Structure 1
Amino acid sequence: MIESEASVKGRVVAEMLSHFTNDLKIGKKIKSGELRKRMIEPPWIPPAMFNLTGINMDHFTMKLLSLKENPNTDYVILQLHGGGYTGAVRNAYYVFAGLYNELSHGCNVLTPDYRVAPENPYPAALEDALASYRWLLSKGYYGEQIILAGDSAGGGLAMALCMYLRDHNMPVPGGIIAMSPWTDLTASGESYETNYEKDPLFGNTKESLIYQNDYPGEHDRMDPYISPLFGDFRGFPPMLIQVGSIEMLLSDSVSVAAKAREQGVKVRLSVYEGMFHVFQMAYLNIPESKKAWAEAGKFIDVLRTDSRL
């Protein structure tokens, strides 16, 4: 699915973002990820209908968002946050968790604050994602009851985790929702050139975190557990992939969708015209983001319906 035209609100937000990142000194820190790494936020206070439970793991922490009354335990969502493998979890992802809870009709959402580079390069993020998944299995969930969701690096990490699970004969998840997934850390896709001057978040510089990134360390960036694009998708569950048409990472989504389909995976690829990297961060405030979240809800509904057949 390709949207034919961006909304007025969507175009305005994209233009504002471009101005902010390209014309201001702070823009360099945004593109490199430095600003996010230094960001200090107050603790996120959930709305009154939720419990937000902290969970300590061996090397990281997690938070489980659940309804206080009548939680839906048929499925659970494991949310892997973005941030280029260098940024920790932020409050925005707990808002994401609330949206996932709503659109999934009350499912719990587990959000790990996995270790990041440069202090903890590959395979730390994958190890922590795997530990989070195993924790859910230990709580009685079957693989098909777990939906992986991630944006940017988190979307790529979700695919890498699924590959690891399949390769090690562990239960694979019931589905994957990937928003602007970063699947090619070699930056080899066509859109890295064609959208170089269009992308308001990463464009017009080779100093951004998509080029300058410490996560792979000394490992080969083409390793499928680092760049899932170069892996095998056979045996994967259905995937919903959403991406903006002006992203430098557009090819990361288009190429994965094509490869996975060729290997027999059910994939819905939605390209939103005029949209930027992880435009879903606009929540329900622009038509494109609102539609993307509704699409994610429909995808989960289909997963639940198909599992009953």
Structure 2
Amino acid sequence: MSTPKPTDLLGEMYAEWINEMTRYPDMSIGLLRIVFEDWQRATAEPEDVTYANTEIGGVPGILVTPTGSDPAQMLIVMHGGGFALGSAATHRKLAGHIAKACGAVAFVVDFRRAPEFKYPAQIEDGLAVYSALLDRGVLPENVTLVGDSAGGNLAISMAMRARRLGLPTPGRVITLSPWLNMENNGATLESNNDTDFLIAPEGLQGNIDRYIEGVTEPTNPDVNPLYADFAGFPRLYICAADTESLFDDAVRLRQLASDAGVDVTFSIGEGMQHVYPFQAGNLARADEEIRLIGEWYHAVR
């Protein structure tokens, strides 16, 4: 059987990245970060959105403001990249599309990255932003935590830790292709290996080590939400591609949340790539997902 070929821009980009990382297996973390800055190329610039480099709660990031958005409705966006790669810059356009669909303002957090800063620095930075928004008078029910891939892990962990710290629970959590399994043994890691052009167990393990090695165990619910108690968790939106290697994480998350009585919505991108909404403005299925997120956000519960 022949190996599948990329059918969209994101798949082509991922294949290019993997080719370069295979050619240069000793690539430094600095060069890897430069490679991943290319992520933003997949996303079209959303119209009528402005950006400002600023900080909230002492944490730097990019404030994303669509024209006519409600400043009382805030999205805290935790970017993906294995806790070590990616940035507010790579995700600002994606955040712009999501914020427009929700009629909200987004803050894309430039949290401290591994391996220079291991767990729990990333979660602490996200919660510093959340606490600062609450101090400014933003209502917790009007705050939505958003995260893709490793950022989805962080968004979930932020909501869990906020509750433990006695902070109000945010209103919603949105996860795009969440990466949750720090034991690196998800069922689709092998079965979807040929159809996922980015994710491989070896790469995942490298990022796991950067994030938690020597600090905590991969079964700690704070880093592996598949071991967490979802009772009382906010409304949850999950989207993932059925052909991506981390699809099992999303399936298990939906089941755990549903079993705990959480209001959970699960959207599946058939034949798509990891974090396929990145292609917003360039791919119809990505635009559809952004629309679905907006409709879910505005649904009365």
Question: Is the TM-score greater than 0.5?
Answer: yes
- In the alignment, the residues of structure 2 paired with residue 49 and residue 178 of structure 1 have an alpha-carbon distance, to the nearest angstrom, of 22
**Pairing partner for 2:189 from 187, 192, 211:** 192
Q: Secondary structure at the match of 1:110?
A: strand
Q: Deviations over 1:143-181 (max 9, x none)?
A: 111011110111110000111112222111111110001
Relative distance call for 1:249 and 1:144 in structure 2 (3 A) is same
- In the alignment, the residues of structure 1 paired with residue 260 and residue 56 of structure 2 have an alpha-carbon distance, to the nearest angstrom, of 38
- Superposition pairs for residues 17-166 of structure 1, below 5 Å? 17=13, 19-21=15-17, 24-26=19-21, 34=29, 35-39=31-35, 50-55=50-55, 57-58=57-58, 60-67=59-66, 70-105=68-103, 107-166=104-163
Q: Secondary structure at the match of 2:213?
A: coil
Preserved contact between residue 76 and residue 147 of structure 1 (Cα < 8 Å): yes
Preserved contact between residue 56 and residue 129 of structure 2 (Cα < 8 Å): no
Q: Secondary structure at the match of 1:149?
A: strand
Q: Deviations over 1:238-280 (max 9, x none)?
A: 1110001111111111001001100100111112111111111
**Pairing partner for 1:212 from 202, 206, 209:** 206
- In the alignment, the residues of structure 1 paired with residue 9 and residue 47 of structure 2 have an alpha-carbon distance, to the nearest angstrom, of 27
User: Match of 1:5?
Assistant: none
Relative distance call for 1:49 and 1:202 in structure 2 (3 A) is closer
Q: Secondary structure at the match of 1:66?
A: strand
Relative distance call for 1:15 and 1:173 in structure 2 (3 A) is closer
Relative distance call for 1:177 and 1:221 in structure 2 (3 A) is same
- In the alignment, the residues of structure 2 paired with residue 276 and residue 49 of structure 1 have an alpha-carbon distance, to the nearest angstrom, of 26
How far off its partner does 1:37 sit?
1.2
Percent identity over the alignment is 27
How far off its partner does 1:185 sit?
1.3
Letter in 2 for 1:126: I
Relative distance call for 1:222 and 1:52 in structure 2 (3 A) is same
Preserved contact between residue 33 and residue 86 of structure 1 (Cα < 8 Å): no
Instruction: Name the count of aligned residue pairs.
Output: 287
- In the alignment, the residues of structure 2 paired with residue 62 and residue 50 of structure 1 have an alpha-carbon distance, to the nearest angstrom, of 14
- In the alignment, the residues of structure 1 paired with residue 24 and residue 261 of structure 2 have an alpha-carbon distance, to the nearest angstrom, of 41
Give the alignment's TM-score, normalised by structure 2: 0.86
Q: Secondary structure at the match of 1:181?
A: coil
How far off its partner does 1:285 sit?
1.2
User: Match of 2:3?
Assistant: none
Structure 2 residue 258 is matched with structure 1 residue 264? no
How far off its partner does 1:231 sit?
0.4
Relative distance call for 1:111 and 1:28 in structure 2 (3 A) is farther
- Superposition pairs for residues 150-299 of structure 1, below 5 Å? 150-203=147-200, 206-208=201-203, 210-213=204-207, 214-218=210-214, 219-299=216-296
Preserved contact between residue 122 and residue 217 of structure 1 (Cα < 8 Å): no
Q: Deviations over 1:175-226 (max 9, x none)?
A: 11100011111112211121123211124xx431x12121012210111111
Preserved contact between residue 14 and residue 275 of structure 1 (Cα < 8 Å): no
Give the alignment's TM-score, normalised by structure 1: 0.84
Preserved contact between residue 88 and residue 116 of structure 1 (Cα < 8 Å): no
> Is there any run of 5+ residues in structure 1 with no aligned partner, and where?
1-9
- In the alignment, the residues of structure 2 paired with residue 92 and residue 207 of structure 1 have an alpha-carbon distance, to the nearest angstrom, of 23
